[in-house]
Amino acid sequence: MKFTHLRNQEINMVDISKKKSTSRSAIAVSYVRFTKKSFKKLIDKGSPKGEIFNTARCAGILGAKKTSELIPLCHNINLSDVNIDFKIDEKMLTIKVKSEVSTVSATGVEMEALTSCIIASLTIYDMCKSIDKKITIETTKLIYKSGGKSGIFKND
């Protein structure tokens, strides 16, 4: 197996200068799970810190933009769009966080989608931790990517 980030046992950023810029996108999801009591309180009264969804959306967008500052060998990419949505599942006691990121670049945006998703989830945790510290963030994963030579990837 050849590691793309190792040359002569030294870590290096992958050289993308000869790669073609193409339209690329990635979608990631994460689930924020609550206890029954805290979920009901959140739905009925909201977070004591204020409206969580726009705050988490803004944090997620910032997370996507700052990914290269957080992940050591990640390229700094000009993002075309970051879209973060939330879905409340009362039966499963979860908030599903979905992040979709796109660009026209020589490298993909999988890390930006994953980072924005987890940062939005962490923001929800932060805004709700006074209700219940047993909140968990679960199953963060890439579910789709397109663009580049590897084409389309789906992981539903």
Q: Which of 15, 85, 89, 126 is catalytic?
A: 126
How far apart CA 140 and CA 100 sit, in angstroms, is 13
* Helix H or strand E segment including 41: helix 36-45
Q: Which residue has the tokens 């992040």?
A: 99
DSSP 132: -
How far apart CA 21 and CA 142 sit, in angstroms, is 21
Beta carbons within 8 Å of 121's beta carbon, 6+ residues apart: 30, 31, 32, 56, 97, 137, 140
**Is 132 designated active site?**
no
Active site residues: 126
